[in-house]
Amino acid sequence: MSKIKTVAVVGGTHGNEFSGIYLLRKWQQPTAVVRDSFSIETVFANPKAHDDNKRYVDHDLNRQFSLIDLANNDLASYEQSRAKVINQQIGPKGDARVDFIIDLHNTTSNMGPCLILLQSDSFNRQMGAYVKMQMPDAVVVFEDHTPVEQNHFLSSIAPQGVIVEVGPQPQSVIRQDILDWMDEMTTHILDFVHLHNTNELIPLIPSYEAFRYHETLSLPEDEQGQRIGMVHRSVQDNDFKPLRNGDLIFTLFDGTEVHWQGDYEAYPHFINEAAYYDNNLAMSLAKKIVMETKG
């Protein structure tokens, strides 16, 4: 990995995830965040959705950044337009002006301070190790199943990008504990970039516990597509706790309890995330891994 010269810190990609928006305001003060070895710019990604106090106006902004969609001028809704503007501003994807993107998100799920890495190259592995060393309660999740070019996240505009995902926080609320976690994790990431640039990285742990995204579970539906159940109370809030074959997972509104049928030890996260109801999703499942820092 060559040096990182320019970093974009993005908040408000979802308009009702408040921590990133308030963190940007704080960081827009001169001298709030300065590192000698690279420049930092802030991007308030979806101001209209924030004004409307919603996740998005027309479409989820954080699903509009595949190369094929960015090139399709028929995609012209508010967020599809914002995506093209942001791609001009800090991209363009494939030949981006910005080297590294930190996209700040909240979840209603009990995920704590969570670093989502979209690649498992040496740079990302080392970043995960560094963040775990500085912030032992942080959770590192690899969502590296999609090549960057096909990835539709905002953070895929640059060659390197991560998502800082912190919860639990209700939509449209700002909690100090969550804001402090986001501030701390983002600061560690910027410190890591600086140490990477200056070849001053401290000796890193050789490996660490992490999670790798595996699959997504839907909420129970009937044959007409009506939702007929909810996340079981024994799973609620137990993000990153093991789920094994036969464990309770859903309660139907008629009282029936549903057991998970799976052939591996799963680690649910994004459990009962409010924004995922649009697509009737109940949670994501990961596998626990030991990530080698040098890979």
Told to check if 243 binds a copy of itself by CB under 8 A, we report no
Within 96-115, which residues bind a copy of itself (CB under 8 A)?
Answer: 108
Told to check if 277 binds a copy of itself by CB under 8 A, we report yes
Told to check if 58 binds a copy of itself by CB under 8 A, we report no
Told to check if 236 binds a copy of itself by CB under 8 A, we report yes
**Among 283, 142, 280, 292, CA closest to 213:** 142
Q: Which of 3, 5, 145, 233 binds a copy of itself (CB under 8 A)?
A: 233
Q: Which residues is 39 bridged to in the sheet?
A: 6
Told to check if 259 binds a copy of itself by CB under 8 A, we report no
Question: In this structure, are residues 281 and 218 in contact, taking their beta carbons and an 8 Å threshold?
Answer: yes
Q: Which residues is 209 bridged to in the sheet?
A: 290
SS3 1: coil
Told to check if 172 binds a copy of itself by CB under 8 A, we report yes
Told to check if 264 binds a copy of itself by CB under 8 A, we report no
The verdict on whether residue 194 carries a ligand-binding annotation is no
The verdict on whether residue 50 carries a ligand-binding annotation is no
Within 62-91, which residues bind a copy of itself (CB under 8 A)?
Answer: none
Q: Which of 124, 171, 186, 293 binds a copy of itself (CB under 8 A)?
A: 171
SS3 240: coil
Rank residues 175 and 288 by Cβ distance to a copy of itself and give the closer one: 175
169 CB contacts (<8 Å, ≥6 apart)? 17, 18, 19, 106, 107, 108, 175, 178
CA-to-CA distance for 85 and 151, rounded, in angstroms? 18
Told to check if 176 binds a copy of itself by CB under 8 A, we report yes
Question: In this structure, are residues 7 and 99 in contact, taking their beta carbons and an 8 Å threshold?
Answer: yes
Compute the half-sphere exposure of residue 152: CA atoms within 13 Å on the CB side of its CA: 11
Which of 41, 79, 143, 165 is an active site residue? 165
CA-to-CA distance for 282 and 259, rounded, in angstroms? 14
Told to check if 251 binds a copy of itself by CB under 8 A, we report yes
| Catalytic residue check, 165 | yes
Q: What is the DSSP secondary structure assignment for residue 149, as one 8-state letter?
A: T
The verdict on whether residue 145 carries a ligand-binding annotation is no
Question: In this structure, are residues 181 and 166 in contact, taking their beta carbons and an 8 Å threshold?
Answer: yes
| Binding annotation for Zn(2+) | 14, 17, 105
Interaction site with a copy of itself (CB under 8 A): 22, 25-26, 53-54, 108, 168, 170-177, 179-180, 230-233, 236, 251, 253, 272, 274, 277
Catalytically active residues, by annotation: 165
